[in-house]
Amino acid sequence: METNQSISIKNLALSFGALDVLKDLNLDVGQGEFLVLLGSSGCGKSTLLNCIAGLLDVSDGQIFIGGRNVTWEEPSERGIGMVFQSYALYPQMTVAGNLSFGLKNAGLPKAEIEERVNRAAKVLQIEPLLSRKPAALSGGQRQRAAIGRALVRDADVFLFDEPLSNLDAKLRADLRVEIKQLHQKLSNTMIYVTHDQIEAMTLADRIAIMRGGQILQLDSPNEIYNRPANKYVAEFIGSPTMNFFEGDIVGGDGLRFSTGDQFFPLEGYEFRNGTPVQGPAWFGIRPEHMVTGTEADTAAIRLNGRVELVEPLGSDTLARVAVADRALWVRMDGQAPVRDGDSVTVGFDPARANLFDKSSENRI
Amino acid sequence: MGNVTRASADVQVSPVSQEMTGPRGPKPRTVLSRRNIMIYGTLIMVSLYYMLPLYVMIVTSLKGMPEIRLGNIFSPPVEITFQPWVKAWAEACTGLNCDGLSRGFFNSVRILIPSVLLSIAIASVNGYALANWRFKGSETFFTILIVGAFIPYQVMIYPIVIMLREVGLYGSLTGLVIVHTIFGMPILTLLFRNYFASVPQELFKAARVDGAGFWGIYFRIMVPMSLPIFVVAMILQVTGIWNDFLFGVIYTKPDLYPMTVQLNNIVNSTQGVKEYNVNMAATILTGLVPLTIYFISGKLFVRGIAAGAVKG
């Protein structure tokens, strides 16, 4: 994408006593890129964001923003704007006061402060709220005001720390769209921390999936979805989660995956680097890549089972299908006439499968 | 809807009619239920128990000495006189001074105001630093401070006498103000630290991103948000310092005695007859300041205690 880097993190480490929260972490974020840090709680994503913001002192490594080494600089000197999960609006100030607080601290002339506040308010459509106090705002309005506070700083980099987690589902979806539009309009670099994979998939240019203070995979949403680098990423992305079979890749009459008494042909599967591997492995297939009914008859791999549980979602129907001694989640059409206890044939294509090494759990 | 199978028509109750006649709206309450009698009875008894001494004091302070000698302490005054109050305030003698409690009152005010302001100013900054700017050794510092709260005063009395003497402040109001400020520090710091720790961390982070420094965040973000805890601290200090007797009698000299010490000297003076009415009036006068503070700020006090003081 863009050639020049906006943020560059080199060998970053952070530990609290004996606990390593971040380990030798490297990350480059391009100018104008929307990067999402995704992971379950405790993976270090918020910690990393706080390090970039300068709110936490790092134990080792360097942080560059806009080509400048900011490792030892104060948060306010780093050219960042930040939005927090709890909005963190100053309760005793009006919205206008909240927006202008940072600018006043920076000693900007009054006229410019006013102009910037009004501009930000216009972009976020919070002009009528400027004279109100945060307590008199709804959740969505508060978060808009909090975004405004980051916006007025005219920062090159925006940092979002789970900004939508405190909102209800409907508002979350609306504000998600607004943040995306804001990024299109402003095109500055944004780093966005979330544990919500839908937010990550919809907003990100690239997603960094984190676990245990390290980045497991850094790729476009599409790539992460289609070619997860390891089993953890594969399980983390997608809902319901990917179905896994434990077994071995064996040679012979073309490569096959043997699990229990079944053999899945692996024709069409793209091995990493194009080199087929044999040995113990996991075979993963997403619920939405499985077909049932007449489509299944032509599939390369077919399994017979019985529907245990049906979850109708309207647009789709999720069915848990018992095959031999295990259960598979299958995503079907919302109108599929499926009921508990039905016998079904489930089919899928090895080209859409994901194979992971048994011990390293990395993609093969 | 349970369907009724019995044949007789009068047993059948249609669900519709039940809906029409059944209980509806708020449940009626009886005012004189046994529960209410118990609750209000107990409350009235307890409040009488606590109010009675105050009643006796007020009544006695409004009587003349002949009436008091009749010995009926509960009876209201036959002839109301404010002379005891005037005497207590302006004329009662302690030692050579015969200007009543007024001298003690102004001494107490001169002790109270700087002590309260100084101790709250220092303790709130302490608490803020300990809660939000965790520095190396901050936990140790905090622990030492808290241990300070448990050391009995008596242990420190003499060392402080020596220290004040060495710096030439022994027997002065300044010395007493310093002593009050120091002794208020542990509990007030704890109070402020816990309150500031309950302020969301993200607010503090947002202010840092906005370029506010140590004092900027303290004055512009934390203090405006913390009115209740400042009120709590103020009440604790005002009552504590106003009611102090020990430090007042030890670290000042007769001319500078606070009101409590002077009250004691008036009440315990051995010359002449015991003037109960004057003593009662003097005692009420002395207690008036903390009482007023409570009445003015009661609501904020409760809010502050609830908001921060209990959370560790």
Domain containing residue A160: CATH number: 3.40.50.300
Give yes or no: residues A90 and A230 share one domain.
yes
Portion of chain A with pLDDT greater than 90, in percent:
69
Of B208, B216, B224, Cβ closest to residue A75:
B208
pLDDT at B5: 47
What is chain A's mean pLDDT, rounded? 91
Amino acid at B205: K
The residue among A210, A235, A260 that closes a domain is: A235
**Nearest CA distance, A192 vs chain B (angstrom):** 16
pLDDT at B232: 86
**Residue A59 within any structural domain of the chain:** yes
Taking residues B245-257, report their average pLDDT.
90
State how far the Cα of A26 lies from the Cα of A114, in Å rounded to an integer: 39
Give yes or no: residues A15 and A119 share one domain.
yes
How many separate domains does chain A show?
Answer: 2
Give yes or no: residues A54 and A97 share one domain.
yes
Give yes or no: residues A264 and A341 share one domain.
yes
Task: Name the more confident of A1 and A353.
Answer: A353
The per-residue pLDDT for range A232-250, each reduced to its tens digit, is 999 999 989 999 999 999 9
What are the CA-CA distances from residue B231 to residues B120, B222, B237, B307 (Å)? 10, 14, 10, 12
Give yes or no: residues A216 and A139 share one domain.
yes
User: Which one of B202, B205, B210 would you mutate to disrupt binding with A, by most A Cβ within 10 Å of its Cβ?
Assistant: B210
The residue among A206, A235, A264 that closes a domain is: A235
The residue among A215, A235, A255 that closes a domain is: A235
A1 pLDDT band (50/70/90 cuts)? very low
What are the CA-CA distances from residue A218 to residues A25, A34, A47, A215, A359 (Å)? 12, 12, 17, 7, 22
| Contact across the interface for B206 and A55, Cβ inside 8 Å | no
Give yes or no: residues A350 and A280 share one domain.
yes
Residue A243's domain comprises 239-357
Q: Which two tokens stand for residue B151?
A: 């050391």
Q: Where are the alpha helices (DSSP H) in A107-192?
A: 110-124, 139-151, 169-186
Give yes or no: residues A264 and A210 share one domain.
no
Which strand (E) or helix (H) includes residue B122?
A: helix B102-132
| Residue A55 with chain B: CB contacts under 8 Å | 205, 208-209
C-alpha angle A304-A306-A308 in degrees, rounded to nearest 5: 145
Give yes or no: residues A161 and A224 share one domain.
yes
Give yes or no: residues A248 and A301 share one domain.
yes
Of B200, B202, B210, Cβ closest to residue A102:
B210
Give yes or no: residues A222 and A256 share one domain.
no
Give yes or no: residues A48 and A178 share one domain.
yes
**Residue A190 within any structural domain of the chain:** yes
Closest residue by Cα to residue A344 from A318, A362, A323? A323
**Residue A364 within any structural domain of the chain:** no
**Residue A39 within any structural domain of the chain:** yes
State how far the Cα of A142 lies from the Cα of B109, in Å rounded to an integer: 46
Taking residues A178-202, report their average pLDDT.
92
Provide ipTM, 2 decimals.
Answer: 0.85
Residue B42, helix vs strand vs coil: helix
The answer to whether residues B163 and B245 touch, using CB atoms and an 8 Å cutoff, is no
Give yes or no: residues A222 and A304 share one domain.
no
Taking residues A64-85, report their average pLDDT.
92
Residue A13, helix vs strand vs coil: strand
Taking residues B67-77, report their average pLDDT.
87
State how far the Cα of A284 lies from the Cα of A358, in Å rounded to an integer: 12
Q: Which residues, in sequence order, are bridge partners of residue A209?
A: A38, A217
With respect to CATH, is domain B102-309 assigned 3.40.140.10? Answer: no
**Residue A78 within any structural domain of the chain:** yes
| Chain B residue with Cα closest to A152 | B210
Taking residues B196-211, report their average pLDDT.
92
The per-residue pLDDT for range B131-161, each reduced to its tens digit, is 998 888 888 988 988 888 888 888 889 999 9
pLDDT reading at B67 higher than 60? yes
**Residue A52 within any structural domain of the chain:** yes
User: Which one of B205, B209, B220 would you mutate to disrupt binding with A, by most A Cβ within 10 Å of its Cβ?
Assistant: B209
Residue B134, helix vs strand vs coil: coil
pLDDT at A251: 84
Task: List, by residue range, all CATH 1.10.3720.10 domains of chain B.
Answer: 102-309
Please identify among residues 200-229 of chain A the ones whose CB lies closer than 8 Å to any CB of chain B.
none
Domain of A244, CATH number, reads: 2.40.50.140
Neighbour count for residue A286 (Cβ, 10 Å): 23
| Residue A146 with chain B: CB contacts under 8 Å | 206
